[in-house]
Amino acid sequence: MKSYKRRQKEHDENVAKVVKRLKQRNPSKDGLVCTARKPWVAVGMRNVDYKRARHFEVDLSALRNILEIDERRMIAKVEPLVTMGQITRVTVPMNLSLAVVGDLDDLTVGGLANGYGIAGNSHLYGLFSDTVVSYEIVLADGRLVRATKDNEYQDLFYAMPWSQGTIGLLVSAEIKLIPVKEYMKLTYKPVTGNLQELAQAYIDSFAPRDGDQDNPEKVPDFVEAMIYTPTEGVYTTGRYASKEEAKKKGNKINSVGWWFKPWFYQHAQTALKKGEFVEYIPTRDFYHRHTRCLYWEGKLILPFGDQFWFRLLFSWLMPPKVALLKATQGEAIRNYYHQMHVIQDMLVPLYKVGHALEWVHREMEVYPIWLCPYRAFKLPVKAMINPEPGFEHHRRQGDTPYAQMYTDIGIYYAPGPVLRGEDFDGSEAVRKMESWLIENRGFQPQYVVSELDERKFWRMFDGELYEQVRKKYGAVGTFMSVYYKSKKGRKTEKEVLEAEQAYLEPAEAEQA
């Protein structure tokens, strides 16, 4: 309800406070910089003990406004703590949307831009960070800069994704908007077969075999798949539809956002019994279809939460906030959760999805499994993640000359051995998964619990540009490196500072 001028004025004032705070820091006395946001507020599941090693807090909590929706430029300018639920409330009634909208309401722009964000249309637009047009960043020395892909801060622009806020403090971003319609026409298609056959059917649902990947007549607006058992899956493909089309006689409208509605993954599963069907879902309901049940984690958190009586009477209380769940977890419960539960994403080249599904079944046996494709664009520089070298020469299904198709394999549930009361070593399973990803040119998002040591971390990710930018803009010694921010376990101030000092040593000293 605030005017544009007021929002911009508040933004300028709040950014000035951030700049002033950073300039107050004494590098020789004060600790590493961290935000004042409490560890349990973050939606990510890793143990955020990294804040124990950092003492100089900078408060960004006021940066939660949508600053501008520019319909002419098709750009949304937003502050980092704006959530997906907040922005869809504003844009969808205007028949606009961020190009990539994270599925859960509480995901923030800052977390998705600095880290990892994907959606069912990432096979068109890439990851959330690929849709960012510019970053407004406060650097270690208090300078405020605007980084784009073609200005003097181009290196900073390409280094920000996956950096987890370890280069500078993001205070706003301009993000690409796309035109949308009032409804999503969603087709639910059941598929049976072995895991390789399920993988191929998934690929065929959005990647034409003739290679015509940029043809909107052949490629749907949205894609996702849910694998329920080693032999059964349901694939959904969606296209935007007008309200006139949705309300034509004979068409079914399903407002899945109502609190009493069945959880989305269970609703989709009904296709296994009744066969392929089509329905129209209001666009905003569709974007946040997994919010109420947190994909399928809600079944473990509240086993009776999917019962009709509970949905009708109490489901308006759902979902429990991830922040609340984390705030009420003791350390013993958290450690048990890490050992006996899996919350991981495997990002693998599309042509390796079948092999990845077989590996997950063999080593973890977690179902359901979520599949979501995304384009890994070929960039003018090497960023933290890159397509496979020479991918464009193979002409594989889903690839184009400018992007390789990858898939997020979402593994979120208790493993089969745990459910059967058998032994399961969660840490060892994750270590094996990470080794498999490194060997197969895959990646692991940094919001999850990682077992990687530093050497393997930089085998998975390309750190060359990141390291150059950290040194160039004074982040080393001011912000913790992304490895130490992502690693599992507690980090002491001494441990991190020693690592930062080694990082600053010249190459000759390292060789000696």
Could you say which of 161, 179, 197 is where a domain stops?
179
Per-residue confidence (pLDDT) for residue 507, from 0 to 100: 38
Does residue 487 fall inside a structural domain? Answer: no
- Quickly tell me which residue has 């007021």 as its tokens: 6
Pick from 66-70, 142-146, 281-285, 304-308: least confident: 304-308
Per-residue confidence (pLDDT) for residue 335, from 0 to 100: 59
Q: What pLDDT digit, counting tens, does each position of 252-295 carry?
A: 999 999 989 999 999 999 999 999 999 999 999 999 999 888 88
State the total domains in the chain: 3
Q: Does the pLDDT of residue 480 top 90, yes or no? A: no
Average pLDDT over residues 151-173: 96
Q: How confident is the model at residue 315 (pLDDT cuts 50, 70, 90)?
A: confident
CA atoms within 13 A on the CB side of 379: 21
Could you say which of 273, 305, 328 is where a domain stops?
328
Looking up residue 373, the CATH number of its domain turns out to be 3.30.70
State the Cα–Cα distance between residues 166 and 140, nearest whole angstrom.
10
Structure tokens at 294: 């947190």
Domain of residue 9 covers 4-179
Q: What is the dihedral of CA 172, 176, 178, 183, to 10 degrees?
A: -40
Same domain, 21 and 162: yes
Same domain, 118 and 44: yes
The number of beta carbons lying within 10 Å of the beta carbon of residue 455 is 8
Average pLDDT over residues 58-83: 95
Same domain, 215 and 323: yes
Does residue 479 fall inside a structural domain? Answer: no
Same domain, 188 and 83: no
Same domain, 165 and 216: no
Q: How confident is the model at residue 69 (pLDDT cuts 50, 70, 90)?
A: very high
Per-residue confidence (pLDDT) for residue 163, from 0 to 100: 94
State the Cα–Cα distance between residues 164 and 386, nearest whole angstrom.
17
Does residue 102 fall inside a structural domain? Answer: yes
Q: Does the pLDDT of residue 355 top 50, yes or no? A: yes
Same domain, 24 and 160: yes
Pick from 52-56, 166-170, 315-319, 363-367: least confident: 52-56
Does residue 504 fall inside a structural domain? Answer: no
Same domain, 160 and 19: yes
Does residue 366 fall inside a structural domain? Answer: yes
Does residue 493 fall inside a structural domain? Answer: no
Looking up residue 75, the CATH number of its domain turns out to be 3.30.465.10
DSSP state of 262: P
Does residue 501 fall inside a structural domain? Answer: no
Same domain, 174 and 70: yes
Same domain, 303 and 202: yes
State the Cα–Cα distance between residues 2 and 65, nearest whole angstrom.
10
Per-residue confidence (pLDDT) for residue 38, from 0 to 100: 62
Same domain, 162 and 89: yes
Does residue 478 fall inside a structural domain? Answer: no
Q: Does the pLDDT of residue 434 top 70, yes or no? A: yes
Same domain, 120 and 167: yes
Could you say which of 328, 355, 371 is where a domain stops?
328
Same domain, 154 and 195: no
